[in-house]
Amino acid sequence: MCTVPIRTVLTVITATTALVLTGLWVGYNVNMLPLDASSNAPTYDALFKVLFSIGMVLFLGIVILLVYSLFRFRRRSGDLSDGLAIEGNLPLEIVWTAIPAIVVLFVGIYSYDIYERMGGMVALNDHSAMAHTAMDHSAMDHSGMASGEVSQARVWGGIGGAGMDAAPTGAVLPVEVTAMQFAFIFHYPDANITSGELHVPTGQPVELHMEARDVIHAFWVPQFRLKQDVIPGQPTVLSFTATKAGSYPIVCAELCGPYHGGMRSTVVVHEPEAYATWLQQNSPASTTT
């Protein structure tokens, strides 16, 4: 390798700094996401900003380098000679192996941390709240699931309750979710309410116990940044704490038949008092007495 002139070094350093700053600026200032309405949405958005910034730096860097070389090293007309016979450069290659390796290692560890904070790493089958509802599955036993009994014993995946430590306002609110072509049905075992819409209070951890009757569906609330497949024969769980009152769409995100696109519902997030009123008005106990 020939000696590198100081000016080149300076240019490279300036350009890299400018690039990194631009990437960071874009990543942190261009908003690509909908409203954040659950306690783990801000956590998710933090991860998104990091990924977006890194992606921006790499993408812009590569595109600029490419366009620059296309311009700078374009063939002048009449020039039929070859370029330099450079076949490789070990130090350089080590550098560009190491940088992505460090980046993905960092990204991997960071997103693990985020996932942990969201409750994704909780071992689902020894969660105490789980045991409670696993026995209390009366609503689902009548739903016609052929393998109902066997599947009750085990939860197959999803996001457990660890993310709820941040909001210890009350006990966990269990809701049983049944998905079918082409609707979600929500059952509140404690209040014995069955509803086509999900109503939850702000600040209280909610734990959805989900099972499908026919084919696979997926429960997704974009404003919560959460999604979980609802699988026939294999119950799954999804925990979250809503933070902002409002109505948000519940979207079925797994192809489930012709009306898959129409399989939507709404989650209504109430302030705790409003939620109590809703419970009052809708629980069968209040109407019969």
Partner 1 sequence: MTLANPSDFNGNLQPQGWLRYFSFSLDHKVIGLQYLVCGFIFYLIGGALAGAIRTELATPLSDFMPRDTYNEVLTLHGTVMIFLWIVPVVNGAFGNYLIPFYVGARDMAFPRLNAVAFWLIPPAGILLISSYFIAGAAAQSGWTAYPPLSLTTPAAGQVVWILSVLLLGGSSIFGGINFIATILKLRRPGLKLMQLPMYCWAMLGTSILVVLSTPVLAGTLILLSFDIIAHTGFFNPALGGNVVVYQHLFWFYSHPAVYIMVLPAFGLVSEILPVHARKPLFGYTTMVYSIMAIVFLGLIVWAHHMFTSGTPPWMRLFFTIATSFIAVPTGIKFFNWLATLWGGKIALNSAMLFSCAFIVNFVFGGITGVALAQVPFDIHVHDTYFVVGHFHYIVYGGTVFVIFASLYHWYPKFTGRMLNEDLGRLHFLLTFIGFNLCFAPQHWLGLNGMPRRVAEYDPTFTTLNQVSSVGALLMAISTIPLLINVVVTALNGKVAGDNPWNALTPEWLTSSPPPVENWIGEAPLVTEPYGYGQHQDQPQEVQA
Site of interaction with ligand HEA (CB under 6 A):
58, 62, 100, 103-104
Would you give the binding string for ligand CUA spanning residues 99-118, x where CB under 6 A is met? Answer: --------------------
**Residues 49-86, buried b or exposed e (16+ Cβ, 10 A)?**
bbebbbebbeebbeeeeeeeeeeeeeeeeeeeeeeeee
Q: ∠ CA 276-278-282 to the nearest 5 degrees?
A: 120
169 binds, among partner 1, ligand HEA, ligand CUA, none (CB under 5 to 8 A by kind): none
Residue 161 contacts residue 193 (beta carbons within 8 Å): no
Residue 174 contacts residue 132 (beta carbons within 8 Å): yes
Q: Minimum CB separation from partner 1 for residue 14, in Å?
A: 19
CA-CA distance, 101 to 95, in Å (whole number)?
10
Residue 207 contacts residue 129 (beta carbons within 8 Å): yes
Of the candidates 254, 265, 267, 269, which one interacts with ligand CUA according to CB under 6 A?
254
Residue 193 contacts residue 282 (beta carbons within 8 Å): yes
Per CB under 6 A, does 256 bind ligand CUA? yes
7 binds, among ligand HEA, partner 1, ligand CUA, none (CB under 5 to 8 A by kind): none
Residue nearest to ligand HEA (CB): 100
| Choice between 114 and 251, CB closer to ligand CUA | 251
Per CB under 6 A, does 210 bind ligand CUA? no
Per CB under 6 A, does 229 bind ligand CUA? no
Per CB under 6 A, does 122 bind ligand CUA? no
Q: Minimum CB separation from ligand CUA for residue 215, in Å?
A: 7
Which of 252, 168, 264 is CA-nearest to residue 218? 252
83 binds, among ligand CUA, partner 1, ligand HEA, none (CB under 5 to 8 A by kind): partner 1
Backbone angles phi, psi at 287, to 5 degrees: -80, -30
Of the candidates 47, 198, 252, 267, which one interacts with ligand CUA according to CB under 6 A?
252
Per CB under 6 A, does 217 bind ligand CUA? yes
Q: Provide the 10 A C-beta neighbour count for residue 125.
A: 14
Q: What are the residues binding ligand CUA (CB under 6 A)?
A: 182, 217, 252, 254-256, 260, 263
